[in-house]
Amino acid sequence: MKKKTIASLLTALAVCANTAVCVSAEKKTVYNVRTALASSDLSLQSWDNITISEGQNTLTFTTPKDGKGDYSNIKGIGLLAIDLEDCYFDIGTVRVDSIVVDGKPLKFNSDAVVYGADDGANNNDFRIELFNSFGETKNDPPFNASSVTVNEKVEVTFTFSTEGYSGGTRRIGGNVIEKKKTSSPQALKGCSVSLNRHKKDGSASPDEEVTCTVSGGQFYADVERGYYDVTISKPGYATKRIENVPAGKRMPSELKNVDLRAYGDVNGDGKINITDVTLVAAYVKQVRMFSDKYQFSVADVNHDNKVNITDVTTIAAAAKGLKKIK
């Protein structure tokens, strides 16, 4: 398969995108939906846009017409997908009820349909992937796509709601490093990482905490899609909390290389020296503020939620090798 052909398919799909329209009456939401049907070699491609509501819907995928106005035959499916636009984290339960090809029901494994699949674009669309020769259904397809011939149309009936949940688990993870502010950052081992569902009021329930698998400086957890607060800690290091991180179609950039710093290492170069003392002293004198909240946490070496002369003195003692920071 030529890369140019694949790129043209993805570009065409992206061009067809529309903005979802929300209707507040009776708490129902109306969605713009984009359908995609392509032959196994991508030489025949068909897209359409339609507006639907919650509940059961039937979408019709038609094959492209030739120069005479007749429907083309698609022998072998390369892509059959439904994209509900701009609603990835809003969709609850989803179920594909039937697939009908040219009036004949197609047997399929409903458990193999991927709900919320990655569509390869940086958007907030929720994809129902029935088959994609380049996607998540490639190795475990709901039906034998290569044996399907479409003479005119495919009809897919599905039911969805914003209540409940469908979509399996999504992997969320990243890396923890130290000495990020140097030319040679290093993976930081021995960290503990946990997740909690993000709540707008900032609260967290221990019952909802998810502990990540940690290997070296890498961590990950398989969770339901949604937004999470990630907490990373290690003895002797200032705990970092990253809020409202999406667990969805791809690994979040916020967790790519998380910078964790030992208490007192305010500038993050892996050393406690006069530079750190100067930064903290400037903050205490209100001459220069810290660049972010995490620097405040790193500078609060006596853990009293304040940064003052006591912290300056403690960091200065550590810089001179007189006393280690606990």
pLDDT tens digits, residue range 192-219?
A: 999 999 987 766 665 678 999 999 999 9
Alpha helices in the chain (DSSP H): 3-15, 274-284, 293-299, 309-319
CB 37 within 8 A of CB 76: no
Q: What is the mean pLDDT of residues 268-278?
A: 96
Beta bridge partners of 153: 62
The token pair that represents 221 in the structure block:
């957890």
* C-alpha closest to that of 50 among 8, 18, 88: 18
**Cβ contacts of 239 within 8 Å, gap of 6 or more:** 231, 232, 233, 297
pLDDT tens for 89-98 read: 999 999 999 9
Q: Is the pLDDT of residue 29 over 50?
A: yes
Q: Rounded to an integer, what distance in angstroms lies between the CA atom of residue 85 and that of residue 222?
A: 24
Question: What is the model's pLDDT at position 122?
Answer: 87
Residue 205, pLDDT score: 61
8 A C-beta contact, residue 141 and residue 67: no
Sequence-separated (6 or more) residues with CB below 8 Å from residue 68: none
In terms of Cβ atoms closer than 10 Å to its own Cβ (0-12, 13-18, 19+), residue 215 is: exposed
* pLDDT above 70: percentage of residues in the chain: 89
Nearest to 106, CA basis, from 139, 75, 149, 68: 149
Q: Are 247 and 225 in contact (CB under 8 A)?
A: yes
* pLDDT digit string, tens, across residues 147-199: 999 999 999 999 999 999 988 899 999 999 999 888 899 999 999 999 999 98
Cα 95 from Cα 110, distance rounded (Å): 8
* DSSP codes of every residue in 27-42: G--EEEEEEEEEETTS
**What's the average model confidence in pLDDT over 292-312?**
97
Strand partners, 62: 153
- Residue 254: strand, helix, or coil: helix
Strand 169-178 versus strand 258-259 pairing type? parallel
- Give me the pLDDT at residue 14, please: 41
Q: All domains of the chain, ordered by start, with CATH?
A: 3-160 (no CATH), 169-259 (2.60.40.1120), 274-319 (no CATH)
Residue 18 pLDDT greater than 90, yes or no = no
In percent, how much of the chain has pLDDT > 90?
A: 81
285-314 mean pLDDT: 96
Angle at 31 between CA 28 and CA 36, to 5 degrees: 150
> Average pLDDT over the chain, rounded to whole?
90
Q: Of how many residues is the chain composed?
A: 326
Between vectors from CA 215 to CA 209 and to CA 221, what angle results, nearest 5°? 35
